[in-house]
Structure 1
Amino acid sequence: MDICHEAPVKCLAYSPDGKWLATGSEDCTIILWDSEGQLVQEWVAHAGEVWSIAFSPDSRHLASVGFRREHAVWNVMPGQGAPKAMILEGHTGLVVSCAWSPDGTLIAAGSGDKTVLLWDARTFQLLHRLNLFTLEQHAHAVTHITFSSDGIRILSASSDGTVKIWDAFSGALILSLEGHTCGVNKACFSPCGKYIASASSDQTVWLWSIDDGSCVETLFEHRADVRHVAFSPDGMTLSSGACDGTVAIRHIRDIILVQDTDM
């Protein structure tokens, strides 16, 4: 299934309840789709391109960050009018990534000003400003950082074409995933924690085993830089968005079952 924005897709996210897929684009909009790929809502979210989006654990809110240090939280309740935003402030540099804590009480955003800010998700008050520790061994810029669901590991993607797994407490390098021929724009853990998916400017999506760092599958569905990739909540579907405005959705159940059988 392919669906289009009017400009390159920058980010996408599944709601934890599996009902919605949200996509953000350089056309300044966020589109909410149902599980069948039908458009549910579309709205202009930021004055510039939408860099990152993340659903709250209860699937009722969507955090988004956009060009010019913009960070908003939207209520996602289809059928009850246009989404309304609560604006979060505090960053002094370009905001490139956002995330919710697993219990839904905190909202975090990472920025080009080399900080991570934490807000109370109930009051939207700024709580902490954290200085990022340096992730060494990448040859070029780190393009994306995410935590594992248990908070023990950190996954970093880089324009040097690698994906690295780090110990979140010591900062020690655990594993380096190498194989892409261009920069990696996004990487994510599967819900079960056994796999990693990476999206690259080499127009491919790679599926990796976290046990030994081997490539399980290389997916060639796009004809442009792949900017984003995400697993469905059950881990059996993988979605990716590319610079040509397309979103590819593919079932990976058979791939996962074969790998789990071989382990």
Structure 2
Amino acid sequence: MGKLLLTIMTTCLGISALLGQELETFIPNACEGGAMSLVFSEEGDFIYTAGKSEYVKKWRVEDGKPVAVSPALGDQMPQIIRVGDHLFVGGRQTDILILNETDLTLESRWPGHTYFVEDLDFCAKSRRLASVSRDNSFRLWDAANGENIQTIAPGRADLMAVALSPDGQLAAFADAENEVFIHKINTSDTPQIMRGSRPVRKLAFSPDGRWLVGAAGNQLLVWEVETRALVHRFRGHVGGISDFIFLPDGQHILSAGLDRKVILRNLQTGRVRFSFMPHEAGISALAFDTSNQRLATAAVNGEIKIWRLSLLPIQPLPEMNQSEKGAGF
């Protein structure tokens, strides 16, 4: 067990306290080439990994032992999300794959895309799944039956990232030519375009739906959803940001990069609350277990570490667990 402790003044939370990260579980060689996506089970007792191999794997958090392995699914699985008792998988295939959460058997495939499925997201309120692909299309699906409800091809460039708003009314997607689109779901409106200086590789709405955050190179970009205005560019990583996640309060965000850093910052001010280096190699993915205040970090050398955090009384917002989204690297 290793422990890192540091004292910080948590002005934004109105208290001063001790924040710590205690290493709870270490899984060496969990994913060849590094996990590109991590997802906790609902109760936090298992974690699922996918990456630069053709398998999704299930691990027991308590002791880091493997529990189940999927059948071979294809070369690279950069994205998994959990929806109920199933895992939805995107990657180097044209179908969305649906696995049983318990034993990782392949239960079904959703055809539709004609090239690699790059990213997925799910909204619990609307029960909709979103996908984007290098076939330049955004697709919206009924998560219950796989019906393709809507398809949009906004341009000629590959689509790389997607996010659904917590209320299920908006979708955001980003292409390989530095454009981010916001679309009103189930309308024929032309998606609004927000241009950046480099491609956005991951998108996520804040839990309250006020902000849209994107990872572009070594920057986190923050847009105000109501005005569509870019309000912040947060820097701090040297090299690309591989993943970011919101904490349960919706006001703080954790980012990780190939510089080996994990950085916690306030979303509205950009103030860095703390940073640490959990691995000797660059970090490829993050996941947060809200049930047990655990943080999982994956490195490009294949190892995974699960940390028990003392994160102060940061309270979840209502419906925080609407989307269990893994990260594309």
Compute the TM-score of the two structures, normalised by the length of structure 1: 0.86
User: Would the alpha carbon gap of residues 45 and 144 (structure 1) be closer, same or farther in structure 2, given more than 3 Å must change?
Assistant: farther
Q: Higher Cα Rg: structure 1 or 2?
A: 2
CA deviation vs aligned residue, 1:15-52 (integer Å, no higher than 9, x gap): 33323211102121111123313322112352111111
- Moved beyond 4 Å, runs of 4+: none
Q: 2: CA distance between counterparts of 1:129 and 1:169?
A: 24
The correspondence of residues 133-172 of structure 1 with structure 2, limited to 5 A, is 133=181, 134-137=193-196, 139-159=197-217, 161-172=218-229
* Alignment deviations for residues 174-214 of structure 1 (CA, whole Å, 9 cap, x no partner): 33221111011211111221211112111222111224111
- Which position in structure 1 is the counterpart of 2:158? none
Matches within 5 A, 1:55-204: 55-56=82-83, 58=84, 60-78=85-103, 83-103=105-125, 105-130=127-152, 131=154, 132=173, 133=181, 134-137=193-196, 139-159=197-217, 161-204=218-261
- Does residue 222 in structure 1 map to residue 279 in structure 2? yes
In structure 1, C-alpha distance between the alignment counterparts of 2:115 and 2:225, rounded to whole Å: 24
One-letter amino acid matched to 2:195: E
CA 1:114 to 1:191, structure 2 compared with 1: closer, same or farther past 3 Å? farther
Q: Kindly provide the amino acid, as one letter, of the partner of residue 129 in structure 1.
A: T
- Taking the aligned partners of 1:252 and 1:197, their CA distance within structure 2 comes to 13
> Which protein has greater RCO, CA pairs closer than 8 Å, 6+ apart?
2
**Unaligned ranges ≥5, structure 1:** none
17 and 148 in structure 1: CA distance in 2 versus 1, 3 angstrom threshold = farther
In structure 2, the CA distance between the partners of 1:86 and 1:152, relative to structure 1 (3 Å rule), is: farther
Matched with 2:163 is none
The equivalent of 1:238 in structure 2 is 295
Deviations along 1:75-133, whole A, 9 cap, x unmatched?
Answer: 2134xxx5223212222343221121123721111233443211111110111124441
What is the rounded CA distance, in whole Å, between the counterparts of 1:185 and 1:171 in structure 2? 24
- Counterpart in the other structure of 2:33: 7
Which stretch of the first structure deviates more once superposed, 163-172 or 215-224? 163-172
Distance across 2 between alignment mates of 1:252 and 1:116: 36
Residues 46, 70 of structure 1: 8 Å contact kept: no
Separation of aligned partners in 1, 2:37 and 2:141: 22
- The Cα shift of 1:146 comes to 1.8
Query: 1:247 maps to what in 2?
Result: 304
Partner residue in 1 for 2:81? 54
Q: Which consecutive unaligned segments of at least 5 residues does structure 2 have?
A: 1-24, 155-172, 174-180, 182-192, 316-329
Cα pair distance change 1:111/1:230, threshold 3 Å: same
**Which residue is 1:38 aligned to?**
65
Deviates more, 1:102-111 or 1:62-71: 102-111
Alignment match of 2:43 (pick from 5, 14, 17)? 17
**Partner amino acid for 2:49?**
T
Q: Which residue of 1 aligns with 2:312?
A: 257
Worse overlay, 178-187 or 126-135? 126-135
Partners of 1:208 and 1:234 in 2: how far apart?
A: 21
SS at match of 1:67: coil
The answer (yes or no) to whether the contact 1:22–1:31 under 8 Å persists in 2 is yes
Give, in angstroms, the shift of residue 169 of structure 1.
4.3
Task: Indicate conservation of the 8 Å contact 1:205/1:219, yes or no.
Answer: yes
